[in-house]
Structure 1
């Protein structure tokens, strides 16, 4: 499944009952805020306690985007889950460091590294199998 609005696209790469791996592509700012929160919120509402965001194709993230990430982290934390970032670029990494959000939202080099932070029964098959 892939959803896109304006300059932001969110694509499911893999999922299981407890976790979804989503690729975030484009710009996470005010124009994509409602789409981002709505899409990720729907995953949480459907029972996913853990979300891994593949940020390798995220080209821009401002303070509104950071607030979206922190809001999802807060929501998942309340459900005893986790929000994990993978493949954050230099700009997102700098934004996280400058705002001291890097401890709340640690970035992993790859999706596989991020998934390794979760208990094995909560991980989807990675890399995804090709049908």
Structure 2
């Protein structure tokens, strides 16, 4: 099967939280690359009680758009508590229900400790890099990695 061209999506959903400085308490979910059935999202900041609803809404909208394989790049995730873990478990369930998978990539030491301490490491598919995670996605669903920025000059009409 042919792979569909992946598109770099520069949009970021930055979530500022009530009364707290966005630097101290914030979460950003950035779509890095997506194909027909797979998307890579970078999660930055804190995933906790204050950000869980916004995170779930953003992630669910990506899955609802047909991306049943969801790779979360957790390189920039600073903090995740039990509420954040519940969000990840909910996404895992949703992806599996759609015959896809949630793949966690580039987990930091704190996130690994949380998964080991809660005995939930075996529930998730964890990988050292996004590339390793994408290698487990079926070829027909896998976006190109690393993403290639689109050349703006290609969009201009020939005169």
The verdict on a shared fold, with TM-score over 0.5 as the criterion, is yes
Structure with higher Rg: it is 2
Using the size of structure 1 for normalisation, the TM-score is 0.98
After superposition, the CA RMSD in angstroms is 0.7
Using the size of structure 2 for normalisation, the TM-score is 0.81
Q: Aligned residue for 2:13?
A: 3
Q: Is contact 1:93–1:107 with CA below 8 Å preserved after alignment?
A: no
Q: Is contact 1:26–1:59 with CA below 8 Å preserved after alignment?
A: yes
- Residue 120 of structure 2: SS of its match in structure 1? coil
Q: Aligned residue for 1:46?
A: 65
Q: Aligned residue for 2:99?
A: 80
Q: Is contact 2:102–2:125 with CA below 8 Å preserved after alignment?
A: no
Any unmatched runs of 5+ in structure 2? 1-10, 17-25, 151-159
Shift of residue 106, structure 1, vs aligned partner: 2.9
Any unmatched runs of 5+ in structure 1? none
Q: List structure 1 runs of 4+ shifted beyond 4 angstroms.
A: none
